Amino acid sequence: MRSVPAMTDDTTPPTPPAAATATDPVTLVRGRWVLTAAPDGAATPAWVRDGAVLLRGDRVAEVGTWAELSARYPAATVRGGEHDIVTPGFVNTHGHFSEGLITGIGSQYTLWEWLHALIDHVNPVMHDGAAHAGTTLQAIQLLRSGVTTANDMFCSDPGARGPVTPGVVRALDEVGLRGVVSFGSGDADRDFGFDAIAGEWDALREAADASRLSTFRVGISVVGRQTPEALERSVAYAADHGAGVHIHLQEVREEVTATFQRTGRSPVAHCAHEGLFAVPTIAAHCVWVDRRDRELLAEHRVGVAHNPVANMILASGIAPVAELRALGVDVGIGVDGPASNDAQDYLQAMKAAALLARTRDLQATAMTAREAFELATIGGARALRMDAEIGSLEPGKKADLVVLDGESPTLANVHDPYQAVVFVAGSREVEEVWVDGEPSVLGGDVVRVDVAEAVAAARPVAERLVAEAGLGRLSALTGGPLDAAERV
């Protein structure tokens, strides 16, 4: 059984578990501050000072004060500490495990150039072993920065070496990270057709169905890489299988211009026109969206994954997050891919989201620490339409949570816990991460896989992948970055 059902419009709150008794095998996670991310008006408060979260099985059972819960459950196993900060697990709304072995290449390019110089060379040589090795490395980094759910789009060419993406699901299960997995490709100007893409979807969907932690979405890389027939069949596939869609939309100006020239509409308007938004959709980036685009996203309840660090590295621009949220669009934060961010550090991305909003508007009030925290937790869950199960610490929801080390010098003095999480803490302060009621990180490191073994196993796979893709030319140490005249 999967731990989270397929994407639907159902946002009915989960049924709280039956009340635990004092002798039940339960865990109490303690903190000086418990930040629940519960929405206004919920039965659970947004924060509890000197609080605790009671876990039973894979669910949050209760949230309350430490004094109350420890007295009622004296036999509970206790995690956390009196100075720690406890939060929901962070929801990474956009990433690419397909880039897991090519971190730190090609940062001299803007997106359009980067895709042609780097990604188009890696996609044809991708294989299952590389998918597994790269996902393992990046999932470790995400967990170490407090991520408990990763919405990922694996991008490669389908068919050449058999199904690739089941390696992603295996790695996530092994490491202990919840995944929303998709495969994104396109058949325009390619030597493979839609059936090859659908075959990869079938393999990934079957792997996710057999997984405890992963669920499936249909991936669409960008509208411009889909023939009209492929786009139509993609929508039908998602509807037939009760799946959501994960797509890039209007990341750069070139994408908007190319789609408008071909269809007479912006990518957002074209997706709406073609019925894509009839299924639950999360759109990555949405940087170059005008007023009508933003209204369409709100009208169709399209979630948006904001990727501030990647957008800065690739010089794509600044997403209008405030305008989107003012219209009621659900916005989450993403780290993007290991070759486009390049760090898979979620706390870094959360801080950047707040700072970039303030830089854009030249206002310190453009995004508060609490607003950034909301985007990282319940906001991301809403964007994925998974907020009935994850994103906040409320009874009945999945037991996905983070403990930040209050004994560290960084968090020795917490005056405002939201500012401490967003602006002060780093991945070194992530002491524990629990996914589905089980620890994936204890003492600051993952517990389900051997990190040294994962690193050693990935190195020869990465070297072979880079060699087969011919990426040595992009290194300053093996020929130097390409001059402007040499750019693709």
Residue 426 is part of a domain; what is its CATH number?
2.30.40.10
Distance CA 256, CA 251 (A): 8
The answer to whether residues 94 and 83 belong to one domain is no
In Å, how far from its chain's centre is CA 449?
Answer: 21
Tokens of 42: 């919920």
The answer to whether residues 309 and 415 belong to one domain is no
DSSP bridge partners of 49: 33
**pLDDT > 90: percent of the chain:** 85
- Secondary structure (H, E, C), the chain: CCCCCCCCCCCCCCCCCCCCCCCCCCEEEEEEEEECCCCCCCCCCCEEEEEEEEEECCEEEEEEEHHHHHHHCCCCEEEECCCCEEEECEEEEEECHHHCCCCCCCCCCCHHHHHHHHHHHHHHHCCHHHHHHHHHHHHHHHHHCCEEEEEEEEECCCCECECCCHHHHHHHHHHCCEEEEEEEECCCCCCCCHHHHHHHHHHHHHHHHCCCCEEEEEEECCHHHCCHHHHHHHHHHHHHCCCEEEEEECCCHHHHHHHHHHHCCCHHHHHHHCCHHHCCEEEEECCCCCHHHHHHHHHCCCEEEECHHHHHHCCCCCCCHHHHHHCCCCEEECCCCCCCCCCCCHHHHHHHHHHHHHHHHCCCCCCCHHHHHHHHHHHHHHHCCCCCCCCCCCCCCECCEEEECCCCHHHCCCCCHHHHHHHHCCHHHEEEEEECCEEEEECCEECCCCHHHHHHHHHHHHHHHHHHHCHHHHCCCCCCCCCHHHCC
Residue bearing tokens 């904001």? 306
**In a domain? residue 485:** no
By the 8 A CB rule, do 14 and 4 touch? no
Q: Binning pLDDT at 50, 70 and 90, where does residue 15 land?
A: low
Where b means 16+ CB within 10 Å and e means fewer, 328-337 reads ebbbbbbbbb
The answer to whether residues 401 and 376 belong to one domain is no
Q: Is 176 left (phi over 0), alpha (psi -120 to 50) or beta?
A: left
The answer to whether residues 33 and 132 belong to one domain is no
**In a domain? residue 458:** no
The answer to whether residues 279 and 415 belong to one domain is no
Distance CA 21, CA 154 (A): 44
Q: Binning pLDDT at 50, 70 and 90, where does residue 2 land?
A: very low
Which residues does 331 contact at the CB level (< 8 Å), separation at least 6?
A: 303, 304, 305, 306, 321, 324, 325, 375, 379, 383
Mean pLDDT across the chain: 92
- Is the pLDDT assigned to residue 4 strictly greater than 50? no
**In a domain? residue 303:** yes
Smallest CA-to-CA distance from 93 within 258, 331, 324 is with 331
The answer to whether residues 204 and 296 belong to one domain is yes
CATH code at position 103: 3.20.20.140
- Is the pLDDT assigned to residue 161 strictly greater than 80? no
**In a domain? residue 478:** no
The per-residue pLDDT for 186 is 87
Distance CA 314, CA 248 (A): 15
Instruction: Give residue-wise pLDDT tens across range 288-330.
Output: 999 999 999 999 999 999 999 999 999 999 999 999 999 999 9
The per-residue pLDDT for 191 is 79
The answer to whether residues 411 and 331 belong to one domain is no
Instruction: Give residue-wise pLDDT tens across range 405-459.
Output: 999 999 999 999 999 999 999 999 999 999 999 999 999 999 999 999 999 999 9
In Å, how far from its chain's centre is CA 277?
Answer: 20
**In a domain? residue 167:** yes
**In a domain? residue 472:** no
DSSP bridge partners of 332: 305
By the 8 A CB rule, do 102 and 462 touch? yes
The answer to whether residues 358 and 396 belong to one domain is no
- Is the pLDDT assigned to residue 482 strictly greater than 70? no
Domain boundary among 383, 408, 435: 383
Q: Binning pLDDT at 50, 70 and 90, where does residue 131 land?
A: very high
Q: Kindly report each contact of residues 409-418 with a partner whose C-beta sits within 8 Å and lies 24 or more positions away, as own/partner.
A: 411/83, 411/85, 414/32, 414/33, 414/83, 414/85, 416/369, 417/33, 417/35, 417/47, 417/85, 418/35, 418/368, 418/369, 418/370, 418/373
The answer to whether residues 164 and 102 belong to one domain is yes
The per-residue pLDDT for 99 is 96
**In a domain? residue 456:** no
Domain boundary among 383, 400, 418: 383
Q: What are phi and psi of 204, to 5 degrees?
A: -70, -40
The per-residue pLDDT for 21 is 57
What predicted TM-score, i.e. pTM, was given to this entire model? 0.93
Q: Binning pLDDT at 50, 70 and 90, where does residue 5 land?
A: very low
By the 8 A CB rule, do 253 and 290 touch? no
What is the span of the domain harbouring residue 420? 27-89+390-446
Residue bearing tokens 């519960």? 38
How many structural domains compose the chain? 2
The answer to whether residues 85 and 104 belong to one domain is no
Domain boundary among 366, 383, 400: 383
The answer to whether residues 80 and 95 belong to one domain is no
The answer to whether residues 72 and 209 belong to one domain is no
**In a domain? residue 117:** yes
Smallest CA-to-CA distance from 431 within 27, 28, 35, 31 is with 31
